[in-house]
Amino acid sequence: MVKNINLVLATLYSIILVLVETILNTYWNDWQYAPLWIVDYLIALILLSAVFVFKQQLQNLILLLGWSFSAGVTYMALFISLDPNGLNSEDIEGKLPLFVLALLVSIIGLVSTIIDFKQKTCL
């Protein structure tokens, strides 16, 4: 049950992440510094490959990698944006709730992957 919820969460999160990143960068014409938006596409690629390509034990490891990477990136984005210099950005009020939501989803995915892994090893 936890595994199925995690796989659905990873799929939905990846699709929404790519759509929101593309829409925000297109709307604000903010495609300049590539590493800040490429990581979102990389997170989606890792999570979707965990769902659709890898199976069994390797699937858990790839999910763990994807959720950990997502949690780290969103943690960084959130707290860089909370820096007083980061708050000078004109679009910060719209991005902060998205960063918080993405961090929460990443943590939920990370915890559910660990729970699923522990359930399999205890059996």
Q: How many domains does the chain have?
A: 1
Render pLDDT for 98-113 as a digit per residue (tens, 0 to 9).
899 999 999 999 999 9
- Would you state the pLDDT for residue 89? 65
Q: Which of 46, 61, 60, 37 is nearest to 13 (CA)?
A: 46
Domain with 39 in it: 2-122
CA pair distance 118, 113, nearest whole angstrom: 9
Q: What is the pTM of this model?
A: 0.87
**Neighbouring C-alpha atoms within 13 Å toward the C-beta of 82:** 10
Give the torsion through C-alpha atoms of 111, 113, 119, 120, to 10 deg: -160
The chain-wide mean pLDDT, for the chain, equals 87
Residues sharing a CB contact under 8 Å with residue 63, sequence separation 6 or more, in sequence order: 6, 10, 47, 50, 109, 113
Instruction: Tell me: pLDDT of 123 over 80.
Output: no
